[in-house]
Amino acid sequence: MSVNWNARFSTMARERLDSSFIAEMIKLVVENQAISFTAGEPSTELFPLEGLAASARNAFRNPDLFSYYPFDEGLLGLREWIVGWMRADGLLPEWVSAKNVFLTNGSQEGINLVTEALIDEGDLIALEDPTYPEAFLNFARQGARFVSAAVDKEGILPDSLEKVLRENRVKFLYTIVSFQNPRGCTAPTERRRQVLELCRKFDVVILEDDPYHYLRFEGDVPESYLRLAGDDARVLYLGSFSKIVAPGLRCGWVVAPPEIMSTLNHLRVSNVIGLPAFSQYILFDFLKDLDLAPYFEHLQKAYRTRRDALVAALERHVVPLGLSFDIPEGGFFLWGRIPGLNDMVRFARFAVETEKIGIIPGTIFFPTKGKGLDTIRFSFAKVTPEIAEEGALRLARALRTFTPGEA
């Protein structure tokens, strides 16, 4: 071809884009027709399709939904519903109303808009180590650099965060507060208070990403950073319907103070001409009459059963080969380690190609290359008890036949 497109790429396209290993693994799973412990997405049979179909029919009675929708912040009814719901669950401080809720194309768009609103080239962002790669890949695109605080089973370690904030001037802290992706950990209220105090002390704002909040199987529900911060309003909160209704509807939201709302709006308008009000209406119409308690109990029960089955199957077949892991109180993920297996990326490719079992190597969740080389993330979201058993057997076989250090 005559045109050299590579020479014309922007700095961002040339230097700051990194491929998503999760996407690569999911592709390998499909190509190899493998069993998958990879997907951080809900099971299709748990989508409330009947209810959504009825709401979709209702949407067709509202022709205005098929015009350009006049509110760039998204469908007002859904924003009001979100406020009522979050308020009833004690997640909101007083100052939040529907004016502070901005609907997004999944919470990933919320991450992207916050990135564009706050990050300048060279800014330092504080992350949990490990964390959700699609967030730090997005921050990196804008030219961000990273400093990481260590986490344990109860989230960010305050001592580690204090050191990070003392030694660096950080733009914001990005934290996944409940059933963290990938580590499965949840910070109890006391830990959150400590983290918030540190952020106040060093005048750092918090990006609280909470897509797994309603997938709790056991334990207490801690207070959100958003609520704990109160009038201080130093928290931007990201919510999502992807894990609790269906990801294909592409609907999430940001809760933000007024001055951020107008910036999010300007960024949205300069980027896309609104989002489909149709999809937002379907969600609103479905949710507004829904009895939430039994709805969530059903989801929680299904995912608890899957977690328990995967835990039992791994304990039977893979723990004897050296795996250890933490058991999360909710969400989709188990986080494990196989000490001595330091090339998990190669093992993941080997396992999917030979034994047809997909897993995600934990190292990709660390922004600094070379960390967590012997770690592994399992998702139980789409894993029925039968698949858990067969998958664990395949993983054990792959471990027995894999030769570390060889191509």
Binding site for ligand PLP (CB under 6 A): 40, 106-108, 132, 176, 181, 209, 211, 240, 242, 247, 252
For the record, the structure tokens of 168 come out as: 């660096």
> Cα 118 to the chain's mean position, in Å?
20
The C-alpha atoms of residue 148 and residue 144 are separated, in whole angstroms, by 13
Q: Are 233 and 224 in contact (CB under 8 A)?
A: no
By beta carbon distance, the residue nearest ligand PLP is 106
Q: How many Cα atoms within 13 Å fall on the side-chain side of residue 259?
A: 4
Question: Which burial class, exposed, middle or buried, applies to 162 when counting CB atoms under 10 A from its CB (0-12, 13-18, 19+)?
Answer: middle
The C-alpha atoms of residue 57 and residue 406 are separated, in whole angstroms, by 57
Q: Got the DSSP string for 54-77?
A: HHHHHHTT-GGGGS--S-TT--HH
Q: Which residue has the tokens 């209704």?
A: 245
Q: How far is the CB of 148 from ligand PLP (least distance, A)?
A: 16
> Cα 401 to the chain's mean position, in Å?
33
Q: How many Cα atoms within 13 Å fall on the side-chain side of residue 47?
A: 14
Nearer to ligand PLP, 104 or 194 (CB): 104
Q: How far is the CB of 332 from ligand PLP (least distance, A)?
A: 8
Q: How far is the CB of 208 from ligand PLP (least distance, A)?
A: 11
The C-alpha atoms of residue 261 and residue 264 are separated, in whole angstroms, by 5
Nearer to ligand PLP, 142 or 342 (CB): 142
Q: How far is the CB of 144 from ligand PLP (least distance, A)?
A: 16
CA distances from 338 to 19, 94, 161, 257, 324 (A): 25, 46, 27, 44, 7
Cis geometry, peptide bond prior to residue 182 (ω within 30 degrees of 0): yes
Q: How far is the CB of 210 from ligand PLP (least distance, A)?
A: 8
The C-alpha atoms of residue 185 and residue 198 are separated, in whole angstroms, by 20
Bridge partner list, 146: 125
Nearer to ligand PLP, 252 or 361 (CB): 252
Nearer to ligand PLP, 252 or 336 (CB): 252
Sheet holding 101-104, edge to edge: 101-104, 252-255, 235-240, 205-209, 170-176, 124-129, 145-152, 155-156
The count of other CB atoms within 10 Å of the CB of residue 145 is 14
Q: How far is the CB of 5 from ligand PLP (least distance, A)?
A: 29
Q: How far is the CB of 382 from ligand PLP (least distance, A)?
A: 13
∠ CA(57), CA(61), CA(63), 5° rounding?
A: 120
Q: How far is the CB of 20 from ligand PLP (least distance, A)?
A: 11
Q: How far is the CB of 307 from ligand PLP (least distance, A)?
A: 16
Q: How many Cα atoms within 13 Å fall on the side-chain side of residue 355?
A: 22
The C-alpha atoms of residue 140 and residue 145 are separated, in whole angstroms, by 7
- The contacts of residue 18 (CB under 8 Å, 6+ apart) are 137, 140
Q: How far is the CB of 298 from ligand PLP (least distance, A)?
A: 21
